Structure 1
Amino acid sequence: MQSCHPLAGVARWVNERGLALDIRLLGAADPEPRTAEWVRLDRLPERVPALLADLTVRTCAGHRTSAAAILASDAARQVAGFAAVAAYLVGRVPDLAAVRLWVRVAESGRPAALALRQGDVAMLAGDPMARRPGAVPLPDDDALDGWLAAAAVRTLEPVFQAIRAESRFGLRPQWSMLADALFRALPAAADEVGADQSAAWQRAEQGAASARSRSASRAARPAAPNASSWSAAGAASGIATRSRARAARSSPTSSASAGCSPGTHRRGAGKPLRDRTAVEELPRSAPVSPVSGTPRGGRCARGLLARPVAGGRADAGGVARPRSPVVG
């Protein structure tokens, strides 16, 4: 990893945490990964049929639509996950052009790691590195999130179009995977540094809205000819219905919550299930975060927001999870 890279510190920090991200940084003159498992993002669309076939057999028990959903989710997480964490923690976003990104495809067929070649880096105007060559100074976090969203949408569009052409999984739920990547990454990063998870969630909402505004026209394009009978809205509705049904069957509170709105139960008089989650008390002497300088003390819900969320849906453990807005 290039120690002089503007994102070297945050990449090292991310790799040391359990954020489901594996980041490799390449210098501008470094050779690209040569082994067969590494695929450059601009070449990923042509690999989609083979990847879907592998995922369908090895991971999804013959369900091709599920394989398409997993591939779209993994692609969005690899492209946007690290960039969103970097924007949130240090106010810097890497160049997400497809020719500068590689994903490592695991034996299961799932993209499992990301390599980035050094290019332009967007950063806040007051950043000490803002005067360096290749720096793109931006006035505030909104502009930074917009830069990230626009770059992620440009890079992911050909991948999502290829997945749509090879499966019944529509563009609208695929674009929602980009929003999901933000909603997974930012609260998890906030939890690691002991920051306010509510603020991280709001930052993810802003990023998702920015991505939605840029992907709306793409999601509205006509469906692929081989999947005209499966609308994007129908795919999203069907997947959500099946997810709620599975959660209800496996939840220990399903009998008590029958007929209630998602995320509530009768005995609690509409009280969100999130309130039943154990909240961990972090030690007062917790070390200071190496990224933000924030002491890792205080109360925070491990892996969950510390505030109730209206309209959440219950997961398999009976814990209400907030809905990620569907992009597009």
Structure 2
Amino acid sequence: MAQQNIQFSQYIFNSLSVNPAYAGYKEELFAQLALRTQWAGLKGAPQTGQLSLDGVTESTKKNVGLGVQITADKLGSQTANSIYLNYAYRIRLNSDDTKRLSFGLGAGVTNYAIDGTSLRPVEQDDPTVTNGSLSSFIPDARFGVYYSSPRYYVGASVMDLFSGDVSNDIFNWDTATQQNIKRKRHYYIMTGALFELSEGLKLRPSLLWKEDFKGPSSLDLNAMFVFADKFWIGGGIRTGVNLWDKEFRQGQTLSNSNSLSGIVQFYASNRFRIGYSYDYITSGLSSVQNGSHEITLGLTFPSKLNRLLSPRFF
């Protein structure tokens, strides 16, 4: 009933991590490296690295976007390494080609591994805890829709489409128990806008809703100020939201408070950008860790036409 999927504070710079229909949005070949250390100072806390590459297949119609994501995640004794291929069909909606509606599909495989020798169960003969090392390959798919215009965007996606089947256990070391780890489907709704405050100053607010209908609903609210299209600074709030009663809350008094984020991004050149974010934890973990750090590096490769595209703020 806890968090399963990786979360990035800097998803606002590259939404491919939560929506396959985003592939090709920048209309140039774009590569990003993201490194995240969550809950620094807490032993066994999540550490994540992700490398992504996406672009359009041709520079004239730009109707097809392709992308690849390679992710490595470590949480305590468990690791999850995955590769996903993403395909997006991008429909042109107006004559000056500033509005697009994309439908995306992603498919890939994840290698889940657990080192049971590093676990310390209270009862040494606990049948629900493996005492060895296990590894499994789990195929999966994802689907998304993404609309973009110069002033706003909106998208929706579902990840882990194959999850929920009884045969899709991540680890199955004891057939007599129902406590083996299973994936759950995850749903995302995202939207954002761009406002021109003055010459050389823009405001870019955004929202990301994350839901699995089992654990807590999660909401990210972000706002970034953009100076001269080169320097971005802002922050965000990540919090739980209770729209209806869920089974996991019975007998619990979990706080909705999660974290506050400070985010900066700087374009060292027209093609290379650097981003950094720090999450200040406001939940019950605040006293046992030192926050979460995230660094992103983005590189855009010029197109063959050498045509200057309008800035991509989403």
The answer to whether the superposition gives a TM-score over 0.5 is no
Q: Of Structure 1 and Structure 2, which has the larger fraction of its residues in helix?
A: 1
Q: Of Structure 1 and Structure 2, which has the larger fraction of its residues in strand?
A: 2
- Normalised TM-score (structure 1): 0.29
- Normalised TM-score (structure 2): 0.30
